[in-house]
Amino acid sequence: MSSVKANSNSVVQTQKLVDQLRVEAGMERIKISLTAADLVHYCQEHRRSDPLITGIAASSNPFKDKKTCVLL
Amino acid sequence: KTSFNCIFNVSFSLRFKPFRRRPLPAQRKYMRSPLTPEMATQEVQLNETLAHLKTESETLKSKLEEERAKLHDVELHQVAEKVEGLGQFVMKTRRTLKGHGNKVLCMDWCKDKRRIVSSSQDGKVIVWDAFTTNKEHAVTMPCTWVMACAYAPSGCAVACGGLDNKCSVYPLSLDKNENLAAKKKSVAMHTNYLSACSFTNSDMQILTSSGDGTCALWDVESGQLLQSFHGHAADVLCLDLAPSETGNTFVSGGCDKKANVWDMRSGQCIQSFETHESDINSVRYYPSGDAFASGSDDATCRLYDLRADREVAIYSKESIIFGVSSVDFSLSGRLLFGGYNDYTINVWDVLKGTRVSILFGHENRVSTLRVSPDGTAFCTGSWDHTLRIWA
């Protein structure tokens, strides 16, 4: 393989890299103070419906053992 | 290079990964053959173009870093200071699923919140009822190391694959005696091992990732390749689809330490993150779709914010030195569960960045971890041949 062909492959690869970087550079970005606030807000909003955080009663969680019955 | 170049690279180091290949080597310089005058000018032109492109790529890279740094005005845990802390967590193993004859490599929940599919090194794929621990179906694959498995949204089929380089779909029959292997449908074909697979919103399409460095979207019925995703420089180890409300994107992680976000329709990589120091074994979207978490062999989990286009949190401790194999969020996104190679599960407070709990139980590496669809429990699979349900 001649060095010309090797170089033209490098050119193609680097061109692809440059195109990709251009796409990424053109992206609209938002400050972390705003986006982080949204993440926190989402957690807080859905906190009550998260069984692993609020814990649900053993009777409604199919995986938790039900309390044993006592026969009187 | 043959695809089995590193298959017996048994180093017994902390990172035992027999099929992982090193990143592709840089271009080699070849012996120059005698140049004609035309070739000489051509070569000079190419070298000039190459030099220009390289300068441009360097400029773009620093510009990207600058832009990302500008937005780094605060840390996530600072924004979360006012959020109340989480209490004590008591999570225990509630069910142990025994039946695999070798390392469990992957598992997935059915949308009915009770069935689970799991796959193992011995080639077996088993469908379980997690409530009763009964096995409902079992299939023996023609290959060992079934590294990927997924449940179809309808609950009527499962997909799996591994060293056979394929992803096959098995329709699940109500008749327990029916031979599932007879109805098997080969959907995806890669040129190296299948590392992960996932159905999209329907039973009709499957997304796969492979040791050949690519991801691909396939039509299940025809087996046709609908879109391929090129950009990783080494094996792709994991993928996750964005929650359906947020549109047609997915994230992938690989041995090149990169996590890439892709547009499913165009095949374009729209964002790329490279802050991990080693292979990324697992990626999972935050429930809102605005962020994703990753777990890596560098013993850390990280959170990447898609709108700020940067890493916003690292979940690590000096005492944790073993790699993370698998991560998943609780329903609200407040908890991040990580399965580690030191046999434990660490539970992290996503907002505050602290560890909330550490869970013991498995007797070997935790290789896979998924929270159930309704968030009531999570399941782990391990090299100790078992799966455990925790709640």
Give, in order, the Cα–Cα distances in Å from B220 to each of A16, B152, B159, B184.
Answer: 31, 11, 10, 11
Mutate to test the interface with A, among B131, B249, B334, B347 (most CBs of A within 10 A): B334
CA–CA–CA angle B331, B336, B337 (5° rounding) = 105
Which of residues 253 through 282 in chain B touch A, CB cutoff 8 A?
268-272
**Interaxial angle between packed helices B37-70 and A3-25, expressed in degrees from 0 to 180 and rounded to the nearest 10:** 20
User: Going from the N-terminus, what domains does chain B have, and what CATH number goes with each?
Assistant: 77-390 (2.130.10.10)
Q: Which residue has the higher pLDDT, A61 or B155?
A: B155
Within 8 A of A41 by CB-CB distance, chain B residues are none
What is residue B174's predicted lDDT score, i.e. its pLDDT?
A: 73
Return all residues near B250 (Cβ < 8 A) that are at least 6 apart: B198, B207, B215, B239, B240, B241, B242, B261, B262, B264
Within 8 A of A22 by CB-CB distance, chain B residues are 60
Q: What does the alpha-carbon distance between residue B310 and residue B271 come to, in Å, rounded to a whole number? A: 10
Output the pTM of the full model.
0.87
Nearest chain B residue to A46, by CA:
B332
Mean pLDDT confidence for A22-46: 91
Task: Note whether B131 and B116 are within 8 A (CB).
Answer: no
User: Is the predicted pLDDT of residue A4 greater than 80, yes or no?
Assistant: no
Mean pLDDT confidence for A28-44: 93
Residues of chain B where predicted confidence (pLDDT) is lower than 70:
1-35, 176-177, 246
Closest partner residue to B73 (CB to CB) among A4, A31, A47 is A31
Which ipTM value was assigned to this complex?
Answer: 0.82
The pair of three-digit structure tokens given for residue B227, joined into one six-digit string: 């879109």
Closest partner residue to B74 (CB to CB) among A8, A9, A32 is A32
CA–CA–CA angle A38, A43, A44 (5° rounding) = 95
